[in-house]
Structure 1
Amino acid sequence: MPPSLKLNNNGSVGISVVSFGGIIRDSFDQVIVVYASPLSPCKVIFAELMGLLKGLYICNNSGFVNIEIEVDALLLIQIIKNEDAFCPQFFYIIRKICTTLSILDYTIKHVFREGNACADCLAKLGSRLEEDMEFGIDNLPHILKGLVKLDKIGLLYIRYG
């Protein structure tokens, strides 16, 4: 079986900032690349879609076709699976995502926010950047290093209350 990757993605919308971020890991949970980017003001679902598209492009351009996608936005999954989620304002980006997914062997599933902490951190980092950025294992943003370690041992998935 060809190697597979796990892609976690998130969007972030604040009072005056919008951004997205994501993390791509191999089947051993080793970080391959992380990405973050600022966006112009938009809806959070657009930020989620843009982040997913960026992650899919990275996977596809790296030659990986087996992708496990995890997101904490159920609407994003409904849009991708076309389950009663009609968003005509996002038609072109949805089409790009679906076209890219059509050449990949993928699964997409919902995770709770705690399980998406690394992508959430990167989405927030994106709001402080001036342009789209990618980071490898050798130059991970300092704020992300501890979260990656906690995620690798499963401590981020614990839900309280």
Structure 2
Amino acid sequence: MPPFFKLNTDGSVDISFAGFWGIIHDNFGQVIVDYAGPLSPCKILFSELMGLIKSLYICNNRGFIDIEIEVDSLLLIQIIKNVDVFYTQFFYIIRKIRMALSTLNYTIKHIFREGNTCADCMAKLGSRLEEDMEFGIDNLPHILKGLVNLDKIGLPYIRSG
């Protein structure tokens, strides 16, 4: 089986903060890069789109071609897969995403929020940052280390709060 990379992304929006997050693992579950960033207050769909486009740029820049993408937004998947779904306010970012995807061998699938816990947790962190940040395995935020280990060994998440 050729090496592939798994990509999880998410967006977060509340009353006064918005952000995005993503994580790229290798096919052994090892974190390659984790990143997060703030956004101006926006719609949740925009934050989800931003999380995905930032991820795709990182994959393209690092030469990652075979990508398994997981997101917890069915609407995002419908927009990416269906050229008939049209959001004029997001036209340019959707076009950029489709262009970035055209250079990859990818699958995209829906994962329930509970299965995307790392992304959900870190998107909230991204909304509190002052600028985009990348993290490697040596400087992952503490809360993420445990979630990554659960994901790596395939244990289900227990939702809290």
Structure 1 unaligned segments of length 5 or more: list them.
none
Is the contact between residue 3 and residue 64 of structure 1 (CA under 8 Å) also seen in structure 2? no
The more displaced of 81-90 and 133-142 is 81-90
Equivalences for 1:1-161 in 2 at 5 Å? Answer: 2-82=2-82, 84-156=84-156
For 1:92 and 1:86, how far apart are their aligned partners in 2?
11
Q: Which amino acid aligns with 2:88?
A: P
Following superposition, the deviation at residue 3 of structure 1 comes to: 2.4
Please report the RMSD computed on the Cα atoms of aligned residues, expressed in angstroms.
Answer: 1.4
Is the contact between residue 10 and residue 48 of structure 2 (CA under 8 Å) also seen in structure 1? yes
* Alignment TM-score, normalising by the size of structure 2: 0.94
Q: Which amino acid aligns with 1:49?
A: L
Is the contact between residue 15 and residue 41 of structure 2 (CA under 8 Å) also seen in structure 1? no
* Alignment TM-score, normalising by the size of structure 1: 0.94
Following superposition, the deviation at residue 151 of structure 1 comes to: 1.2
Following superposition, the deviation at residue 69 of structure 1 comes to: 0.3
Q: Deviations over 1:15-35 (max 9, x none)?
A: 110001011000001000001
For 2:58 and 2:12, how far apart are their aligned partners in 1?
20
Displaced runs of 4 or more, over 6 A: none
For 2:150 and 2:108, how far apart are their aligned partners in 1?
22
Identity among equivalent positions (%) equals: 77
Following superposition, the deviation at residue 121 of structure 1 comes to: 1.2
Following superposition, the deviation at residue 85 of structure 1 comes to: 2.4
Following superposition, the deviation at residue 54 of structure 1 comes to: 0.4
